[in-house]
Amino acid sequence: MEIASEIVHCNASRVQFLDGLVKLIPKSVKVEFGKKVIDVIPSADGKGQMKIIFEGGLEREANAVIGCDGIRSACRRILLGQDSRAIYSGKYAYRKVVNMEKAVEVVGEEVRNRLIYLGKGGHVLMFPIRRGEMLNVVAFKDGGEKEWADKRWVVPSDREDLLEDFKGWNRKVRNILKVC
């Protein structure tokens, strides 16, 4: 009797993942994109369908609703309630997708594998995506005692801010951050 099974890990960019999901939808299923969901409620007819209410008043009925609507998810609120909203964790992150060959050039062959560098006040996670052609780099930094003041969750930043936040980290981390 086998008591353990193999777990295979794979990586994909969000775009690749969503494209893959869309390809799985049968042609007979009507799909609409680019609309903001305001609410999802049971249809009045009691047949198990759901009424989706979009921004601007557009309404549709569906047998299933898949919510891929991000960190400020209306679907999360609808399913889990008002208290399920995302809150600031005390960390912020810089994200960038880098050409794998450029990453290998500045760091070394080890970037072809999943890596995490740990340091005082942060960590840097790297993993290959897009069939190993690109490297996803996410540099997490502790925000200290400061609260997140910006109404936006994604804000523009520049290389100088990134490099200042990771000043004193090892050469490999600094080299990959320089190409971000």
User: Where do the H-state alpha helices sit in 7-126?
Assistant: 14-24, 74-80, 100-106
Q: Is 159 among the residues known to form the active site?
A: no
Question: Which one, of 60, 68, 22, lies nearest residue 39 by Cα?
Answer: 60
Strand 50-54 relative to strand 115-119, pairing: unpaired
> Of 95, 114, 131, 159, which is the active-site residue?
95
Q: How far apart are CA 138 and CA 92, in angstroms?
A: 10
Q: How far apart are CA 25 and CA 64, in angstroms?
A: 12
CB neighbour burial string for 165-180, b if at least 16 within 10 angstroms, e if fewer = bbeebeebbbebbebb
Please give the positions annotated as active site: 95
